Every structure is written in C-alpha cells, then in structure tokens.
Amino acid sequence: MPKWKPEKIWDGEETFIIGGGDSLKNFNWNLLKPLLTIGCNDAYKLGSDICKICFFGDSNWFEKHEQRLKAYNGVVFTNSGKIMKQNIPWVWSTMRKGIGLHQNAVGWNKNTGAAAVNLAMLLGAKTIFLLGFDMQLSKDGKSNWHENEVSKPNPKIYDKFITGFDHVNNGLSKFPGVEVVNITDNSRLEFFPKIGVNEFWSRRAG
C-alpha cells in the first residue's frame, strides 16, 4: 500500500467534498466534472471524472466494495489501520488520528466526511465546500443518495457525526486562511457558513 506524505498538490484551490446525504439524490453531478473533489465512500460509483479521490475509513465498507473499487480509475485513499496492514498496492494511505485536525495525519473525527475535510486541507485546499452533509434522515427515512450496503438508517448516528465536526471546527486555527462552507439545504451542521444549493450554483454560473 503506497504511503502518502502530505503534499499540497491542490494548494490554494477550491475542493468539494461529496457527502452521502439524501439531499444529493437529484443533484446534477455534471457540475463537479471540472472541479477538484473528494468523494466519501460510495461516491466512487459516480466515476473518476466526478469523484477524483474516493476516501473511506471503515474497513467493513471496504470489504463490501473492494472488487468494484478496483475498476474505479480515481485515487482510493484511506486512514483505516486495518486496511493499511493489508498492503493493498492500489489503496493510498496516511496516518490516522482519533480527533482534531492535523498537518501530518488525517483526523477521523467520528465520520468519513469530517476526515475528508482534513485530507482536503493536507492537499492544500483553501476553500472546502461540503455537499450532502444533511446530518439527518430524509422525510421518508432515507440516510443516503445511494444504496447503503453496510448499515441501516439510524437517526442517532448523526449526533455523533456532528460531535466530530465540532472537533473539526475547533481545529481550524491549525490551517489559517482555510474556510469550510456548507452547501447543503436543511443541514443540521451549524458550525460553518451556509449557502443554499440553488443560490450557490446560480452565483457560479454568473
């Protein structure tokens, strides 16, 4: 497994984190093709032209998706200690920390999305946009825009995720000048500036 030493290959750039929230079910994925993206877990299914890096931290998830991930042409990245020990040549890895933001490791912070934010910072991103960070079930009880093969919908899990993002928010001073913006309608994640999905993309379209 190739070990990655943090390098700012996206120095000063915008990066979009593709979360798993059900709010992305009808999202126009083509908007992301020209952009730098890190997709959490199942986002690799969108293809490498949309999801440039697939990040995961759950070994159970990897075991479910390993064979399909082999056909994915983007970068597969993890900080799962169990997977790192397997020395899989096509999976990139870096050191894992439990909580907080780090400059030489990726803090797990209780969920993949929060860890992906730390990875974006290590890559040098200056502005990090969050997509699909609902932090709640949809009205019809769905947890994801994709089929979840690992766990059943559980509304209580989001309180843990939000606690993890509290650690991210408290660690922002370690990355001066970096901003995190939440582009998720009706998100329960309140730590970062928010902008509505339609408003954001309308502004970018000029």
Residues of the chain with pLDDT under 70: 1-2, 149
The two three-digit tokens of residue 75, written as one number = 């970068």
pTM confidence score: 0.94
Question: pLDDT value at position 149?
Answer: 66
Helix, strand counts (H, E) of the chain: 5, 9
Question: pLDDT value at position 1?
Answer: 57
pLDDT in tens, 16-33: 999 999 999 999 999 999
Burial class (CB in 10 A: 0-12, 13-18, 19+), 157: middle
Q: Where are the domains positioned within the chain?
A: 14-205
Q: Considering only CA atoms, which of 93, 90, 56, 87 is closest in space to residue 73?
A: 90
- For 14-205, CATH gives 3.90.1480
Question: pLDDT value at position 131?
Answer: 98
pLDDT in tens, 99-138: 999 999 999 999 999 999 999 999 999 999 999 999 998 8
d(CA 131, CA 129) in angstroms, rounded, equals: 7
